[in-house]
Structure 1
Amino acid sequence: MPVLAIAHRAGNSLAGLRTANKLGVDVIECDVHQFRGRLEVRHLKSAGPLPFLWDRWELASASAPRLGLAELLAADEHGTTFMLDLKGGRGTSVGRSVASLLHEVGHHRDVLVCGRRWSSVDALAHLPYVRRVLSARNRVELSRLVQRLPTQPTYGVSVHRSLLDPATVEALHRHVEVVMTWPVNDVATLDRLLDIGVTGIISDEDEILAELIGRR
């Protein structure tokens, strides 16, 4: 199986969706937030009652138009495989809302669902077309992930590149089909990760995704 080329955050806008599809990636990732009962796709986080969205040094008006997950799915004309990165706090509400929406819009093609809040990802496990991907950003999460996989098999994992070495990748592959990592935004990093057995590359850079696709 070829290494998956995954366009990081490309599904957070319709322009990004079109560009990634034209490039020919395997998977388009988007960040799914639930805000006032609506599922939105965006990287920026809400700030409760405050009138802005934020992430580190970036601010945007909360009144600006926001792309809904239903709108994103409806706009797809290429049979895209999406990876829905579930955001938000603890609990399963986002996962349950995504499950309901997929049923309502009749989206029954394969879809990857990932997140660091595993309970929310697990809330979609009953859907036959959902492939669960459990994420780990730090060593505590990775340790928990390694302990969980032998007893609760899943399709894949998404682990930050700083946590991966040959032994860790080999151990993860014993229990999952795909070991993904992010961010992979230069050729040297791409080569290192491919050499240790990573099978899913998540990149913000079109050039890196094109390089990966061109090596097939």
Structure 2
Amino acid sequence: MNGGPGLIAVAHRGGNRMADLRAALASGVDAIEADVHFIHGTLRVRHGAIAVSRHAPTLEEILTTADGGPRLLLDLKGPSLAVADEVAAMLSDRFPDLPVAVCTKQWRMFDAFAEGSPVQRVYTARTSRQLTRLRFLIRRSPVGAASVRQQLLNPDVVDELRAAGVTVLVWPVDSDAALADARRLGADGVIGKNLALLRSLVTEREATSGWR
């Protein structure tokens, strides 16, 4: 995954509801995040505890609607690793050519996706302990991309990650001040819910992002 010129713009939770997904698709962002849960034998997309709602869209509905659009970033949720197996099976069987990335704070979930799979892995670090683990991991094996809570970072750490070949996405970036800080840090991209802010990043770029 390459950042390309300018910052990668990712719509945080942009795929969690059909209306939000359509708005994110229309915005021209580079990627759309969706929170995926395995509930009562079905892969559903929703944020937080209300994910148990049977009114939440299914992952299949989200994937079908997004097909042909920008890359989806599927955030795999829940204590059970089964969600990863189910997502891997659905992508392989039903959507083998759809550009998708997966992120998770439970990195063992990546084992469900076979080596050579077109699915891109994004390592989530939301705590200082997870960031320490990430910095240790990049010394032993390649990490293509990471989603890191912005408050954990400083320019030296971002430089360290990028020097190891990691595309660094920071979150949450929902204001001009947060965006300015992301630029100060040297991040490759931002994840946020402010579509107008994300659209401004798309507009300022002269070339298509490497996520396309």
Fold-level similarity (TM above 0.5): yes
Q: In structure 2, what is the equivalent of residue 18 of structure 1?
A: 22
Kindly report the root-mean-square deviation, in angstroms, between the aligned alpha carbons of the 2 structures. 1.6
Deviation at 1:176, TM superposition (A): 3.2
1:143 and 2:147 aligned: no
Deviation for aligned residue 1:211: 2.1
Correspondence for 2:47: 43
Residue 110 of structure 2 corresponds to 121
Contact 1:40 1:69 in 2 (8 A): yes
- Aligned equivalent of 2:185, options 189, 193, 196: 196
- Ranked by relative contact order (alpha carbons within 8 Å, sequence separation 6 or more), the top structure is 2
Q: Does 1:130 align with 2:134?
A: no
Change (3 A) 1:125 1:191: farther
CA distance in structure 1 between the aligned counterparts of 2:39 and 2:95, rounded to whole angstroms: 22
2:11 corresponds to 1:7 = yes
Aligned to 1:111: 100
Q: Which residue of 2 aligns with 1:79?
A: 69
- After superposition, the C-alpha distances for 1:135-185 in whole angstroms (9 at most, x for unaligned) are 011111110111012212121000001001100100111223410011001
Which of 185, 200, 203 is the equivalent residue of 1:211? Answer: 200
Q: Structure 1: which amino acid aligns with 2:12?
A: H
How much has 1:127 moved relative to structure 2?
4.8
After superposition, give the CA deviation of every residue in 1:94-126 in whole Å (9 maximum; x if it has no partner). 111110011121332321110100001232142
SS at 2:98 equivalent: coil
**CA offset at residue 63 of structure 1?**
4.9
The alignment covers a number of residue pairs equal to: 201
Query: Any unmatched runs of 5+ in structure 1?
Result: 46-52, 55-61
After superposition, the Cα gap between the structure-2 partners of 1:132 and 1:42, relative to the gap in structure 1 and judged at 3 Å, is same
What fraction of aligned residue pairs are identical, expressed as a percent?
36
Number of the residue aligned with 1:49: none
Residues 86 and 121 of structure 1 are in contact (CA less than 8 Å); yes or no, is this contact kept in structure 2? Answer: no
Mapped partners of 2:54, 2:75: distance in 1 = 22
Q: Which amino acid is 2:148 matched to?
A: V
Cα distance, 1:191 vs. partner?
Answer: 1.2
TM-score (norm 2): 0.89
Q: Which deviates more from structure 2 when the two are superposed, residues 159-168 or residues 205-214?
A: 205-214
Structure 2, unmatched stretches of 5+, are 206-212
1:152-191 matches, within 5 Å, as 152-191=141-180
1:213 Cα shift? 1.7
Does the Cα contact within 8 Å between 2:17 and 2:56 map onto a contact in 1? no
Aligned to 1:27: 31
Secondary structure at 2:15 match in 1: helix
The two structures have a TM-score, normalised by structure 1, of 0.87
| Residues 125, 132 of structure 1: 8 Å contact kept | no
Q: CA deviation at 1:214?
A: 2.5
Show structure 1 runs of 4+ deviating over 3 A: none
Does the alignment pair 1:68 with 2:72? no
Task: Report the Cα offset of residue 206 of structure 1.
Answer: 1.1
